[in-house]
Amino acid sequence: MSSVDLNINQLSYSEDSGSQTIIDHIDLAIKETEFICIVGPSGCGKTTLLNTIAGLLNSPNATVKFSQADIRLGYIFQEPRLMPWLTLQQNIELVLPQSNPQLVKQVLKQVGLLAYSQHYPNALSGGMLRRASIARAFVIQPQLLLLDEPFVSLDSPTAMKCRALLLNMAKQHQTTMVFVTHDVNEALYMADRIVFLSNSPSTIIHQLVLNRSAQQHSGDYESQHQQALKSALFSQHPKILEGTLATS
Protein backbone atom coordinates (compact mmCIF):
# COMPACT_ATOMS: atom_id res chain seq x y z
CA MET A 1 0.00 0.00 0.00
CA SER A 2 1.06 3.57 -0.60
CA SER A 3 -0.34 7.04 -0.21
CA VAL A 4 0.12 9.66 -2.92
CA ASP A 5 0.40 13.45 -2.80
CA LEU A 6 -0.04 15.06 -6.22
CA ASN A 7 0.37 18.73 -7.08
CA ILE A 8 0.13 20.06 -10.64
CA ASN A 9 0.20 23.71 -11.67
CA GLN A 10 -0.16 24.89 -15.28
CA LEU A 11 0.77 21.64 -17.02
CA SER A 12 1.14 22.34 -20.73
CA TYR A 13 1.92 20.60 -24.02
CA SER A 14 3.95 22.26 -26.75
CA GLU A 15 2.42 22.08 -30.23
CA ASP A 16 3.18 23.69 -33.60
CA SER A 17 0.50 26.26 -32.86
CA GLY A 18 2.02 27.03 -29.46
CA SER A 19 1.74 25.86 -25.87
CA GLN A 20 -1.58 24.44 -24.68
CA THR A 21 -2.38 24.18 -20.98
CA ILE A 22 -4.08 20.86 -20.18
CA ILE A 23 -4.25 21.05 -16.39
CA ASP A 24 -4.61 24.35 -14.54
CA HIS A 25 -4.26 23.22 -10.93
CA ILE A 26 -4.76 19.89 -9.20
CA ASP A 27 -3.82 19.28 -5.58
CA LEU A 28 -4.80 15.76 -4.51
CA ALA A 29 -3.89 13.59 -1.52
CA ILE A 30 -4.73 9.87 -1.80
CA LYS A 31 -4.71 7.69 1.31
CA GLU A 32 -3.27 4.19 1.57
CA THR A 33 -5.68 1.53 0.19
CA GLU A 34 -8.12 4.25 -0.93
CA PHE A 35 -10.03 3.67 -4.18
CA ILE A 36 -10.22 6.97 -6.07
CA CYS A 37 -12.26 7.46 -9.23
CA ILE A 38 -11.43 10.38 -11.51
CA VAL A 39 -14.41 11.63 -13.54
CA GLY A 40 -14.40 14.46 -16.07
CA PRO A 41 -15.25 15.41 -19.65
CA SER A 42 -13.20 14.18 -22.59
CA GLY A 43 -9.94 16.04 -23.08
CA CYS A 44 -9.75 17.40 -19.54
CA GLY A 45 -6.47 15.65 -18.74
CA LYS A 46 -7.51 12.49 -16.89
CA THR A 47 -4.97 10.30 -18.69
CA THR A 48 -2.38 13.07 -18.35
CA LEU A 49 -2.96 12.96 -14.60
CA LEU A 50 -2.40 9.19 -14.50
CA ASN A 51 0.74 9.46 -16.63
CA THR A 52 2.08 12.14 -14.31
CA ILE A 53 1.58 9.90 -11.27
CA ALA A 54 3.22 7.01 -13.16
CA GLY A 55 6.27 9.10 -13.99
CA LEU A 56 5.63 8.77 -17.73
CA LEU A 57 5.18 12.52 -18.04
CA ASN A 58 7.74 14.73 -16.34
CA SER A 59 7.19 18.43 -15.80
CA PRO A 60 8.76 21.01 -13.47
CA ASN A 61 5.19 22.08 -12.71
CA ALA A 62 4.17 18.70 -11.31
CA THR A 63 5.27 17.00 -8.10
CA VAL A 64 4.32 13.49 -7.01
CA LYS A 65 5.22 12.16 -3.57
CA PHE A 66 4.72 8.58 -2.42
CA SER A 67 4.72 7.37 1.18
CA GLN A 68 7.39 4.82 0.23
CA ALA A 69 10.56 5.57 -1.69
CA ASP A 70 10.63 2.40 -3.78
CA ILE A 71 7.03 1.92 -4.84
CA ARG A 72 5.63 -0.95 -6.92
CA LEU A 73 3.26 0.66 -9.41
CA GLY A 74 0.93 -1.03 -11.89
CA TYR A 75 -0.98 0.43 -14.84
CA ILE A 76 -4.03 -1.02 -16.64
CA PHE A 77 -4.89 0.67 -19.93
CA GLN A 78 -8.04 0.83 -22.07
CA GLU A 79 -6.59 -1.90 -24.30
CA PRO A 80 -5.14 -5.15 -22.87
CA ARG A 81 -1.75 -4.54 -24.56
CA LEU A 82 -0.68 -8.18 -24.48
CA MET A 83 2.12 -9.36 -26.76
CA PRO A 84 0.35 -11.42 -29.47
CA TRP A 85 3.33 -13.74 -30.03
CA LEU A 86 3.49 -14.76 -26.35
CA THR A 87 1.19 -17.12 -24.47
CA LEU A 88 -0.91 -15.78 -21.62
CA GLN A 89 1.53 -17.19 -19.07
CA GLN A 90 4.49 -15.63 -20.89
CA ASN A 91 2.71 -12.26 -21.01
CA ILE A 92 2.23 -12.33 -17.25
CA GLU A 93 5.82 -13.45 -16.63
CA LEU A 94 7.09 -10.60 -18.79
CA VAL A 95 6.57 -7.99 -16.05
CA LEU A 96 8.40 -9.97 -13.34
CA PRO A 97 12.07 -9.22 -12.60
CA GLN A 98 12.76 -12.96 -12.51
CA SER A 99 10.87 -16.12 -13.41
CA ASN A 100 8.28 -17.24 -10.85
CA PRO A 101 5.94 -19.82 -12.44
CA GLN A 102 4.14 -20.56 -9.18
CA LEU A 103 3.24 -16.91 -8.63
CA VAL A 104 2.01 -16.61 -12.22
CA LYS A 105 -0.17 -19.71 -11.83
CA GLN A 106 -1.52 -18.37 -8.55
CA VAL A 107 -2.62 -15.04 -10.03
CA LEU A 108 -4.04 -16.70 -13.16
CA LYS A 109 -6.11 -18.94 -10.88
CA GLN A 110 -7.35 -15.88 -8.98
CA VAL A 111 -8.68 -14.32 -12.18
CA GLY A 112 -10.08 -17.61 -13.50
CA LEU A 113 -7.63 -18.03 -16.38
CA LEU A 114 -5.34 -20.83 -15.23
CA ALA A 115 -6.82 -23.23 -17.80
CA TYR A 116 -5.90 -20.73 -20.54
CA SER A 117 -2.29 -20.16 -19.51
CA GLN A 118 -0.89 -21.61 -22.76
CA HIS A 119 -3.35 -19.81 -25.03
CA TYR A 120 -2.32 -16.85 -27.17
CA PRO A 121 -4.18 -13.52 -26.85
CA ASN A 122 -6.06 -13.95 -30.14
CA ALA A 123 -7.75 -17.05 -28.67
CA LEU A 124 -9.17 -15.12 -25.70
CA SER A 125 -12.43 -13.17 -25.46
CA GLY A 126 -12.58 -9.48 -24.58
CA GLY A 127 -13.47 -10.25 -20.98
CA MET A 128 -10.63 -12.76 -20.69
CA LEU A 129 -8.18 -10.20 -22.06
CA ARG A 130 -9.28 -7.69 -19.40
CA ARG A 131 -8.87 -10.32 -16.70
CA ALA A 132 -5.42 -11.03 -18.12
CA SER A 133 -4.61 -7.33 -17.74
CA ILE A 134 -5.72 -7.50 -14.11
CA ALA A 135 -3.54 -10.57 -13.55
CA ARG A 136 -0.52 -8.90 -15.12
CA ALA A 137 -1.01 -5.83 -12.92
CA PHE A 138 -1.38 -7.77 -9.67
CA VAL A 139 1.38 -10.33 -10.24
CA ILE A 140 3.90 -7.64 -9.20
CA GLN A 141 1.84 -7.09 -6.01
CA PRO A 142 1.46 -3.35 -6.66
CA GLN A 143 1.14 -0.86 -3.84
CA LEU A 144 -0.47 1.59 -6.27
CA LEU A 145 -2.52 0.69 -9.35
CA LEU A 146 -3.54 3.19 -12.04
CA LEU A 147 -6.44 2.31 -14.36
CA ASP A 148 -7.48 4.23 -17.48
CA GLU A 149 -11.07 3.20 -18.32
CA PRO A 150 -10.14 -0.50 -18.39
CA PHE A 151 -13.67 -1.82 -18.98
CA VAL A 152 -14.97 0.82 -21.41
CA SER A 153 -15.33 -1.52 -24.42
CA LEU A 154 -16.95 -4.46 -22.59
CA ASP A 155 -20.63 -5.38 -22.54
CA SER A 156 -22.39 -4.66 -19.26
CA PRO A 157 -22.42 -8.18 -17.71
CA THR A 158 -18.76 -8.81 -18.58
CA ALA A 159 -17.71 -5.40 -17.28
CA MET A 160 -19.57 -6.05 -14.02
CA LYS A 161 -17.73 -9.34 -13.51
CA CYS A 162 -14.42 -7.57 -14.13
CA ARG A 163 -15.31 -4.82 -11.64
CA ALA A 164 -16.11 -7.41 -8.97
CA LEU A 165 -12.84 -9.21 -9.68
CA LEU A 166 -10.86 -5.97 -9.53
CA LEU A 167 -12.40 -4.96 -6.21
CA ASN A 168 -11.69 -8.39 -4.74
CA MET A 169 -8.06 -8.30 -5.90
CA ALA A 170 -7.58 -4.76 -4.58
CA LYS A 171 -8.91 -5.85 -1.19
CA GLN A 172 -6.71 -8.95 -1.08
CA HIS A 173 -3.56 -7.03 -2.01
CA GLN A 174 -4.39 -3.87 -0.01
CA THR A 175 -3.70 -1.79 -3.12
CA THR A 176 -4.25 1.95 -3.49
CA MET A 177 -6.30 2.52 -6.67
CA VAL A 178 -6.67 5.49 -9.03
CA PHE A 179 -9.35 4.70 -11.63
CA VAL A 180 -10.36 6.95 -14.54
CA THR A 181 -13.91 6.56 -15.87
CA HIS A 182 -16.63 8.41 -17.79
CA ASP A 183 -19.31 6.22 -16.16
CA VAL A 184 -20.71 7.83 -13.02
CA ASN A 185 -22.49 4.57 -12.11
CA GLU A 186 -19.15 2.78 -12.23
CA ALA A 187 -17.57 5.45 -10.05
CA LEU A 188 -20.41 5.41 -7.53
CA TYR A 189 -20.19 1.62 -7.28
CA MET A 190 -16.43 1.26 -6.96
CA ALA A 191 -15.00 4.34 -5.29
CA ASP A 192 -14.25 5.43 -1.77
CA ARG A 193 -14.05 8.93 -3.22
CA ILE A 194 -14.92 10.45 -6.60
CA VAL A 195 -12.87 13.40 -7.85
CA PHE A 196 -14.66 15.46 -10.52
CA LEU A 197 -12.58 17.53 -12.93
CA SER A 198 -13.55 20.62 -14.92
CA ASN A 199 -13.09 21.14 -18.63
CA SER A 200 -9.51 21.72 -19.78
CA PRO A 201 -7.46 23.40 -18.48
CA SER A 202 -8.76 21.30 -15.62
CA THR A 203 -9.01 21.68 -11.91
CA ILE A 204 -10.90 19.76 -9.21
CA ILE A 205 -14.45 21.11 -9.00
CA HIS A 206 -16.02 18.60 -6.60
CA GLN A 207 -15.19 15.59 -4.45
CA LEU A 208 -17.72 13.04 -3.25
CA VAL A 209 -16.84 10.71 -0.36
CA LEU A 210 -18.68 7.37 -0.39
CA ASN A 211 -19.17 4.30 1.77
CA ARG A 212 -17.83 1.70 -0.66
CA SER A 213 -18.81 -1.30 1.46
CA ALA A 214 -22.42 -0.09 1.58
CA GLN A 215 -22.38 0.52 -2.17
CA GLN A 216 -21.30 -3.00 -2.99
CA HIS A 217 -23.19 -4.85 -0.28
CA SER A 218 -26.15 -5.75 -2.48
CA GLY A 219 -23.98 -6.58 -5.49
CA ASP A 220 -26.39 -4.47 -7.57
CA TYR A 221 -24.61 -2.09 -9.93
CA GLU A 222 -27.64 0.20 -10.06
CA SER A 223 -29.11 -0.38 -6.60
CA GLN A 224 -31.73 1.89 -5.08
CA HIS A 225 -29.06 3.31 -2.78
CA GLN A 226 -26.76 4.09 -5.70
CA GLN A 227 -29.54 5.68 -7.75
CA ALA A 228 -30.42 7.89 -4.77
CA LEU A 229 -26.80 9.04 -4.58
CA LYS A 230 -26.74 9.80 -8.30
CA SER A 231 -30.05 11.65 -8.12
CA ALA A 232 -28.80 13.80 -5.25
CA LEU A 233 -25.54 14.54 -7.08
CA PHE A 234 -27.25 15.62 -10.31
CA SER A 235 -29.91 17.55 -8.42
CA GLN A 236 -27.19 19.66 -6.81
CA HIS A 237 -24.81 19.72 -9.79
CA PRO A 238 -26.75 18.92 -13.00
CA LYS A 239 -23.83 19.77 -15.32
CA ILE A 240 -21.03 18.19 -13.33
CA LEU A 241 -20.25 15.61 -16.04
CA GLU A 242 -19.80 18.51 -18.45
CA GLY A 243 -17.06 19.81 -16.18
CA THR A 244 -18.96 22.64 -14.54
CA LEU A 245 -20.88 23.25 -11.32
CA ALA A 246 -23.19 25.71 -13.09
CA THR A 247 -26.86 25.07 -12.35
CA SER A 248 -28.19 26.34 -15.67
Long-range contacts of 150-158 (CB under 8 A, 24+ apart): 150/76, 150/77, 150/78, 150/179, 151/186, 152/78, 152/181, 152/182, 152/183, 153/78, 153/126, 154/126, 154/127, 154/130, 158/126, 158/127, 158/130
Q: Where are the domains of the chain?
A: 2-72+146-153+180-248
Q: Is the pTM of this model over 0.85?
A: yes
Binned at pLDDT 50, 70 and 90, residue 137 comes out as very high
Q: Which pLDDT score is estimated for 144?
A: 95
Bigger pLDDT: 201 or 76? 76
Q: Which CATH number fits domain 2-72+146-153+180-248: 3.40.50, 1.10.357, 3.40.390, 1.10.3210?
A: 3.40.50
Bigger pLDDT: 217 or 73? 73
Bigger pLDDT: 4 or 139? 139
Mean pLDDT, the chain, integer: 90
